[in-house]
Amino acid sequence: MEFIPGSHFIPIPVYGKIHNGTPRELFDVYADGYIYLPYEVVNEEDIAFKVMDNDISWDEVDKGDYIIVATYLQPYDGAMALARVDRSSITVKRLEYRDDKEILLPAEDDYDPVEFSKEEVSERLEIIGVVKGIMKPKRWN
Give Cα 27 to chain centroid, integer Å: 11
Q: Are 68 and 48 in contact (CB under 8 A)?
A: yes
What structural domains and CATH numbers belong to the chain? 9-135 (2.10.109.10)
The per-residue pLDDT for range 69-106, each reduced to its tens digit, is 999 999 999 999 988 888 878 888 899 999 999 999 88
Is 0.85 topped by the overall pTM? no
CB neighbourhood size of 53 (10 A): 13
- Rounded CA separation 34/60 (Å): 22
- Rounded CA separation 35/27 (Å): 17
List CB contacts of 50: < 8 A, sequence separation 6 or more: 14, 16, 17, 18, 64, 65, 66, 67
Look over the chain and give the mean of its residue pLDDT values, rounded to a whole number. Answer: 81
Closest CA to 106 of 134, 88, 137, 85: 85
The per-residue pLDDT for range 30-82, each reduced to its tens digit, is 678 898 888 888 888 999 988 876 555 566 777 888 999 999 999 999 999 98
| Per-residue confidence band for 19, with pLDDT thresholds at 50, 70 and 90 | low
Residue 105: its H or E element: strand 101-105
Per residue, the 3-state secondary structure of 12-77, as one string, reads EEEEEEECCCCCEECCCCCCCEEEEEECCCCCCCEEEEEECCCCCCCCCCCCCCEEEEECCCCCCC
- Rounded CA separation 136/62 (Å): 8
